[in-house]
Structure 1
Amino acid sequence: MRDVSALFAIRERYDDLSAKEKQIADFILEHPRESVNPSIEELAERIGISESTMVRFAKKLGYSGYQRFRIALARETVPVTSQLFEREVIDASDGFDAVFNSAIASLLETQQSLDRGLVLEVATLMTNARNVYLMGLGGSNIVAEDALHKLVRTGINCQWAADFHLQLMMASQGTKDDVALLISHTGSGYDSIALAEELKSNEVRLVVLTSNPRSPLARLADHVLAVKTGASVAVSESFSARIVNLAIIDLLYIHVMELLDERGIEQLNRMRASIAKRRV
């Protein structure tokens, strides 16, 4: 779509909208900034219409989908500092404090909200699994690789790949005795959903690590580990989400090691001895 104000597009096409679409338009025009952060599921529920109506509304305005519309709305209504630093900042010139404060706030919020019993349950599934698939795309794949770097030292059988097609091939070989940890900030990417659907078709137990627990990807999961961030899910490159994800990976690693007990320590010492040979 042409680069035009999202709010202007609503006003321009208002008379062409259906009654339910006008209900969406009225809410967004009255609460433009408050309409950016909620997921499509949350906003649809708040307005009292279906998600499919939200999608039709965005397409009638000329956008390829609701996500594209929301990004345009965010650019228009959310301050540049919030788009850059993920949270509202008083002095945008001080990026040093903004970056650290955003990460600290996200870590504390997640620490308070995360279900500790669920984390232990996921760690138990990983410990007893035949294979643990560590998956993600883009920046989330870097987090998945970090999970491999941690968990491989426990001795459990971990599998990771950078390429989407290789991940899809791995998913096709899964069984009910396997566990997959699929990482996605937004939980709305077509490829992430394709991986989840392939895993579920093979009865692999699916754990999703995401900032959007009401996303299409989260709805496919057996277990959802939810990350709290100050960023809108319309912002796909949440920096603080990555930091919290890494902390959760560390937590899973610690739980797995505790569950493995002496066997885990033995595997860890083997890894340390191997690495030590390569040091001066």
Structure 2
Amino acid sequence: MVQDIRKQLQIIVNSESEDITYITICRVILENIQKGIEDITILELAEICYTSPSTISRFVKKLGYSNFNEFKMKCIERKNLGTEILSDNVKNISFNSKNDKDVLIDLVDSINISLREFVEKLDLNEIDRLVNMIHNYEDIYFFGFHLSGYFMQHLQYNLFNLGKYVNFASQERSQERLANQTNENSLSIIFSVDGNFIRQKSQIFYSLKENRGKIVLVTQNPALKMASQCDYVIYLGNYKSATEGRYKLHLFTEILINRYYQKYSK
């Protein structure tokens, strides 16, 4: 499984409490991941960062890697994933310099149709059932990655505002630890627009199954075979594309927090 090392580095460069040397190392790596991090040796990286190879070694071990070579391999894996994500963006918004405004209008129209179909098929009773589950369970865990993870952090933040504690970790290894903490009295909610989380993070999913807690899946993929192993599945309307699915998931989280607030804010 691919550790989101770029997210790890992003957290450090955005933190004022981190050591300035580590921030410098992160910045240099982020600037070079796409340019050819695979060709940089630990000595070269130390020289660019005005530090020592031993400091680089301590830094990568702090991030959870055994040595610099393992760290560099993860950077290469993340480089390939980053290229794939950017390629999806370019494919979904195909500017051609001639009718770019029309391209955007077509995209917005497609998203609008998808959202309307989602709302028309939406069963608010399903959302209210999930709202009740979130309120009634004491141990709640959110699982997801990439953009789904951002929506989950937004939902988690709003639930904190309502006095409801929810466990979530943005890093893969931390999510694995959270999965191991679940038990038969816990509620785990997986947000995965296309179902990639269950397919790519199968070890996390099977840890949840082994610990016998209740599992809820929120997805737009009706063909996901592993969905049958979840206790409860909420579908985000018809499947179209990942792009439209992101907007549906965002709307879903907004509806969910609104319904929770309406019922339990008092």
TM category (shorter chain) comes to 0.5 to 0.7
Which residue matches 2:155? Answer: 147
Deviation (angstroms), 1:92: 6.7
Q: Is the contact between residue 180 and residue 211 of structure 2 (CA under 8 Å) also seen in structure 1?
A: yes
Name the SS for the 2:167 alignment partner: strand
Which residue matches 1:203? Answer: 212
Q: Is the contact between residue 141 and residue 166 of structure 2 (CA under 8 Å) also seen in structure 1?
A: yes
User: What is the alpha-carbon distance in structure 2 between the residues aligned to residue 138 and residue 204 of structure 1?
Assistant: 24
Output one character per residue of 1:221-254: Cα deviation in whole Å (capped at 9) or x when no partner.
211121235635xxxxx22211110111111112
Which residue matches 2:190? Answer: 182
Name the SS for the 2:173 alignment partner: helix
Q: Is the contact between residue 187 and residue 216 of structure 1 (CA under 8 Å) also seen in structure 2?
A: no
Q: For 1:116-127, what aligned pairs fall within 5 Å after superposition? A: 116-127=124-135
Name the SS for the 2:202 alignment partner: helix
Which residue matches 1:212? Answer: 221
Deviation (angstroms), 1:255: 2.0
Q: Using the TM superposition, name which of 167-176 and 217-226 deviates more.
A: 217-226
User: What is the alpha-carbon distance in structure 1 between the residues aligned to residue 193 and residue 226 of structure 2?
Assistant: 10
Percent of aligned positions that are identical: 18
- Runs of 4 or more, structure 1, over 4 Å off, are 80-83
> What is the root-mean-square deviation in Å for CA atoms of aligned residues?
2.7
Are 1:248 and 2:252 counterparts? yes
User: What is the alpha-carbon distance in structure 2 between the residues aligned to residue 259 and residue 126 of structure 1?
Assistant: 12
| Gap change, CA 1:106 and 1:96, over 3 Å in 2 | same
| Gap change, CA 1:167 and 1:226, over 3 Å in 2 | same
Q: Is the contact between residue 147 and residue 249 of structure 1 (CA under 8 Å) also seen in structure 2?
A: yes
Deviation (angstroms), 1:166: 0.7
Of the candidates 88, 95, 105, which is equivalent to residue 103 of structure 2? 95
Deviation (angstroms), 1:212: 0.5
Which residue matches 2:49? Answer: none
Q: Is the contact between residue 186 and residue 210 of structure 1 (CA under 8 Å) also seen in structure 2?
A: yes
Name the SS for the 1:206 alignment partner: strand
Output one character per residue of 1:172-230: Cα deviation in whole Å (capped at 9) or x when no partner.
11123221221112214433333222112212211111110330342222111212356
| Gap change, CA 1:141 and 1:169, over 3 Å in 2 | same
Q: Which has the higher contact order (CA 8 A, sep 6+)?
A: 1
Number of aligned residue pairs: 175
Q: Is the contact between residue 229 and residue 241 of structure 1 (CA under 8 Å) also seen in structure 2?
A: no
**Structure 2 unmatched ranges of 5 or more:** 1-87
Name the SS for the 1:132 alignment partner: strand
Output one character per residue of 1:21-79: Cα deviation in whole Å (capped at 9) or x when no partner.
xxxxxxxxxxxxxxxxxxxxxxxxxxxxxxxxxxxxxxxxxxxxxxxxxxxxxxxxxxx
Are 1:226 and 2:235 counterparts? yes
Which residue matches 1:273? Answer: none
User: What is the alpha-carbon distance in structure 1 between the residues aligned to residue 91 and residue 238 of structure 2?
Assistant: 13
Opposite residue 135 of structure 1, the aligned amino acid is: F
**Structure 1 unmatched ranges of 5 or more:** 1-79, 233-237, 263-280
Which residue matches 1:84? Answer: 92
